Amino acid sequence: MFTINDNYLKLQGSYLFSNIAKKVAAYKEENPQANIIRLGIGDVTQPLAPVIIEALHKAVDEMGTPEGFHGYGPEQGYEFLRSAIAKNDYQARGCQIDADEIFVSDGAKCDVGNIQEIFGIDNKVAVCDPVYPVYVDTNVMAGRAGSFDQAIGGFNQLIYMPCTEENGFAPELPNEVPDMIYLCFPNNPTGAAITKDALQAWVDYANKNGSVILYDAAYEAYISEPGIPHSIYECEGARTCAIEMHSFSKNAGFTGLRLGYTVIPKELVCNGVSLHSLWNRRHGTKYNGAPYIVQRAGEAVYSEEGKKQLQAQVAYYMENARLIREGLADAGFTAYGGVNAPYIWLKTPDGLTSWEFFDKLLHEVQVVGTPGSGFGASGEGFFRLTAFGTKESTIEALARIRRL
């Protein structure tokens, strides 16, 4: 009789956002007339920018000609895109990252989930609490988390770094030294940002202790304040301790198109073994590269016109963030985030749990958000709203929340 990977049995029945989708679908079935506003999952709503559409059309036409047809491409991504990323996201910011240190993929979620495969199974893993569930779940699936402990509301082999109102949602350097450290800034779900000095302290800590930092920079396009690093490689010494992952979903609206990338500097080694080579080996074995057409669309993100159009799109969502932040404050809520990130992290009123508040919003005013406790024990008593709705639906959602 075959056996299964019973680490999967340690996971909650379904992924947080699938769980929410199921609850919303059930409500809709009972209330077919309900006009539900969805500010739950961080999915964009604005159509792709004209410059992206133009690049897609052009690449599609090329693929229909003998000269322009592209079959399997390089697994790591086409040179044209890797160079554009290196130049714009790194070298222009004074970070020393070369095109051949970049691995293009079909999205940051896959990379963030798969990266743990190249690390030892006994590694201790530190995560923020609350946290994007993918970091935890993929380590649980791999057998790197132990068992669930109700008392701590988490897995006994993981190191949870509480991010609370008291510490400004900034994790403290853990006393027990982790081998792998997941950081995400600007943060999902709290919307908190990290200063360059604070991030430098993490880089120094990792280099001193032989830890690796897995840095999720999916929301960097939303940074609006000075002194906030757009990349971990702005910190001295990050090339020897950090892997960085990026998405095209949030800055360019590719949630349905799919494109992302991971940076592994060549200096990042473990006992003389290069992590870049390991990931290259893994990528070549399990992946045949992102579609040519989508990579051409990714290249357009870095054109002068692309930058202009996408800045306008980010500004549109950040205006929603401002409306939510200020609207909630006016209505007497305590809310954080929304300044350098498209997420607003609010305290649930009247001592309601996160899920009680979720149900109240859904049932009474038909607004969907994400319960903070779905991101971890320290998220209990909080609730996340996303700024990725349309302006009209955001305004309407706030009016409904005020009515509560």
The residues binding ligand MLT (CB under 6 A) are 41-43, 109, 132, 188
Closer of 132 and 233 to ligand MLT (Cβ): 132
The residue among 1 and 25 lying less far from ligand MLT, judged by its C-beta, is: 25
Is the backbone peptide bond immediately before 174 cis, with ω within 30 degrees of 0? no
Give the integer Cα–Cα distance in Å for 348 and 384. 10
Token pair of 346 as six digits: 């609010």
CA quadruple 20, 22, 23, 27: dihedral positive or negative?
positive
Query: What minimum distance in Å lies between the beta carbon of 240 and ligand MLT?
Result: 28
Measured distance CA(24)–CA(359) in Å, rounded: 10
Distances (CA, A) of 147 to 19, 126, 282, 374: 22, 15, 28, 18
Q: Tokens 């609850």 correspond to what residue? A: 23
Closest separation in Å from C-beta 310 to ligand MLT: 17
Residue type present at position 364: E
DSSP states of 139-206: HHHHT-S--EETTTTEETTEEEEE--TTTTT-PPPPSSPPSEEEEESS-TTT-----HHHHHHHHHHH
Helix (H, G, I), strand (E, B), or coil: what is residue 109? helix
Least Å from the CB of residue 386 to ligand MLT? 6
Q: Tokens 């349905």 belong to which residue?
A: 256
Q: From the CB of 343, what's the least distance to ligand MLT, in Å?
A: 8
Shortest distance, position 366 Cβ to ligand MLT, whole Å? 19
Which CB sits closer to ligand MLT, 83 or 116? 116
Nearest distance, CB of residue 245 and ligand MLT, angstroms: 11
Name the DSSP letter for residue 5: -
Q: Which DSSP category does 338 fall into?
A: -
Closer of 42 and 327 to ligand MLT (Cβ):
42
Please, which residue, 206 or 259, has the CB nearer to ligand MLT? 259
Q: Using CB atoms, what's the residue nearest to ligand MLT?
A: 42
- If the CB atoms of residues 42 and 289 are measured against ligand MLT, the closer one turns out to be 42
Nearer to ligand MLT, 83 or 320 (CB): 320
Relative to beta strand 102-105, strand 260-263 is antiparallel
Q: How far is the CB of 132 from ligand MLT (least distance, A)?
A: 6
DSSP 243: E
Q: How far is the CB of 190 from ligand MLT (least distance, A)?
A: 11
Angle at 314 between CA 56 and CA 254, to 5 degrees: 35
Q: How far is the CB of 223 from ligand MLT (least distance, A)?
A: 17
Looking at beta carbons only, is 43 or 234 nearer to ligand MLT? 43
What pairs with residue 242 in β-bridges? 213
Residue owning tokens 């360019």? 252
